[in-house]
Amino acid sequence: QKEVEQNSGPLSVPEGAIASLNCTYSDRVSQSFFWYRQYSGKSPELIMSIYSNGDKEDGRFTAQLNKASQYVSLLIRDSQPSDSATYLCAVPNYGGSQGNLIFGKGTKLSVKP
């Protein structure tokens, strides 16, 4: 059974700090990795995708991928209260349903003013 694991949290950080969200996955052939942000009561929104080992930066967000360790993380610099949400990690289900993404259960982030 292919799995995506995330710490459910809640992760609480002060405003202005760096929030670090982690995700591990079981399928070694995974090539694409996605981070979604879900505000309470809303649908998930794609915020980052990463395909190669290393770092990918987009504004205050940095995704880090280590395929050898089957580990992907999301760093949020200068965290703001508006970043408070649940962050979902997702990887494609290769060999399974076409185009099916496997989602982790998400990490709830709370940024305190």
Q: Which residues bind another protein (CB under 8 A)?
A: 31-32, 34, 41-46, 49, 51, 88, 90, 92-93, 97-101, 103-106
21 or 106: CB nearest another protein: 106
> Closest approach of Cβ 8 to another protein, in Å?
9
Over the range 45-73, which residues count as b (16 or more CB within 10 Å of their CB) and which as e? Answer: eebbebeeeeeeeeeebbbbbebeebebb
> Closest approach of Cβ 73 to another protein, in Å?
17
79 or 107: CB nearest another protein: 107
DSSP-derived secondary structure letter, 39: -
> Closest approach of Cβ 70 to another protein, in Å?
18
> Closest approach of Cβ 23 to another protein, in Å?
13
Between CA 4 and CA 76 the distance in angstroms is: 20
41 or 113: CB nearest another protein: 41
CA dihedral 8, 31, 54, 84 (to 10 degrees): -30
